[in-house]
Each structure stands twice: as C-alpha cells, then as structure tokens.
Amino acid sequence: MSGNTVHLPQQNRIVEIDMLRGFALMGIFLVNITNFFQTAGVSSTLLPDADWINILLTGKFYAIFSLLFGVGAAIFLNRAKEKGKPYRYYIRRMVALGAIGWLHSMIWGGDVLLSYALIGLVLLALHKIPAKRLFFISITLHLTGILVNLLSYDYLYGGKPDIPVVLDVMLLITSLTSFLTYFVEGFTLMNMNVLEKLKKRLALRSSTMRKMSASK
C-alpha cells in the first residue's frame, strides 16, 4: 500500500451543494464582520461601508443559505423516509437545531438557527403538498413581495404619508414570509429532482461537445 492517504468524499454527500453552502457561509461571515469588529471596539473608520455591504451582500447570501437549507431539509426527510421513521428523525434534528440556536442566541443577538429550526418544522407540515404546486405558491409569494415593496417604496423611504391599510397588511405578510419562500423553493426544487436533471443535461452537453470535437 502507498503511504499516501487519499481522502474520498463522504458517501451520499452532494459536493455541489456543499460548495454552495460554504460559499454562502463565507458571504454571511463578510456581512457580519462589521458587527464583530464594532463589538471588539475597532474604529468605524477602519471598517467597510455598511451601506455597500447591505446592497452587495446581505440579502444575497442569506437567500442562498436559506434556499440550501430547504434543499438540505428535503434530502434529510427523503433519507429518513428510507429508514421508515421520517417524522421522528426529522423532528429530532429540528429540535436539536433549535436548542443550539436558543443557546447561541444568548451570546449573539444575530442568531438564525432557532428561526431556521421553526421554519424546518413548517416545511414538514407542507411536505405532502405536490412539489410543483408548492413551488408555484412560493414563486407567487416572491413576485407578490416584489410588487408590494415597489408599491410601498414611496411610503417607506420617500416620506409619503398615510400608507393604505391593505398595502400595510400585505407588507407585513410578505416580510414575514420572505425567507420562508426561499426555504420552500429549495425544498421543492430538490423534490422535483432539478439538480439531477441539470447534471444530466450538462453531462449530455459535455458528451456532445466532445464528440463534435473528435469528429473535426
């Protein structure tokens, strides 16, 4: 045997998803680094501009991570079904995540793990809805949120008074469901086997390109 040890990826890991998750975590770290330094007493003149961080990074990386959490929830639930006790395994995992998040919230006000665990339980309640129908609902919520934010922009940022009650209620609803839509989208995309279909399409295209190159 060779003295060199080759570390193979853990069985059943999806490398592409792990890479995206690592990318999202690095982005979230960059988003929070200003708060870390301010807590440590670093001068604000040495820190990056918070407005630019919010514009370029904040919503993007949290959205990616939320989408991937939905993907991970779908993978875990499907594998738990293979063991015959999907609800017990899944609920136990979310309870453990919630407990970790609760403990973390005692030392860091920006904890999201507890919220993620609660949303994970919501996904369990929704999982019997057909994936395509659930995806359509999430896309509808997404588009509704964009429209509501556009309509309320002048009231929120332009100083326009007396926001209509209906618009105010819709703004509250869409703000409460904004992250849930990303979770649901990731959950349903995984259940629709979008990743496998995409990988097969890319593999087919790559094979076609190689055949074309060989025939020249």
Which residues have CB under 8 Å from 90's CB, separation 6+?
A: 73, 76, 77, 80, 120, 124
Which residues have CB under 8 Å from 68's CB, separation 6+?
A: 17, 20, 21, 24, 186
The predicted structure's pLDDT at residue 62: 75
- Angle at the Cα of 62 from the Cα atoms of 133 and 150, rounded to 5 degrees: 70
The predicted structure's pLDDT at residue 100: 93
For the entire predicted model, the pTM comes to 0.69
Cα(113)–Cα(94) distance, rounded to whole angstroms? 10
The predicted structure's pLDDT at residue 17: 76
The predicted structure's pLDDT at residue 58: 62
The predicted structure's pLDDT at residue 41: 61
**What separation in angstroms does the CA of 20 have from each of 8, 14, 173?**
19, 10, 29
- As given in the structure block, the two tokens for residue 204 are 């087919």
Residuewise pLDDT in 10s, the chain (216 residues): 444 444 444 556 677 777 777 777 777 777 677 666 666 665 555 555 555 555 556 667 777 888 888 888 888 888 888 777 778 888 888 999 999 999 988 887 777 888 889 988 988 888 888 888 888 988 888 888 889 888 888 888 777 888 888 888 888 888 878 878 888 888 888 888 776 776 677 666 666 766 666 666
Q: Where are the domains of the chain?
A: 15-208
**For the chain, how many residues are written?**
216
The predicted structure's pLDDT at residue 103: 92
Q: Taking a C-beta distance cutoff of 8 angstroms, is the pair 151, 167 a contact?
A: yes
Cα(214)–Cα(216) distance, rounded to whole angstroms? 6
Q: Taking a C-beta distance cutoff of 8 angstroms, is the pair 102, 118 a contact?
A: no
The predicted structure's pLDDT at residue 102: 92
SS3 label, residue 8: coil
The predicted structure's pLDDT at residue 131: 86
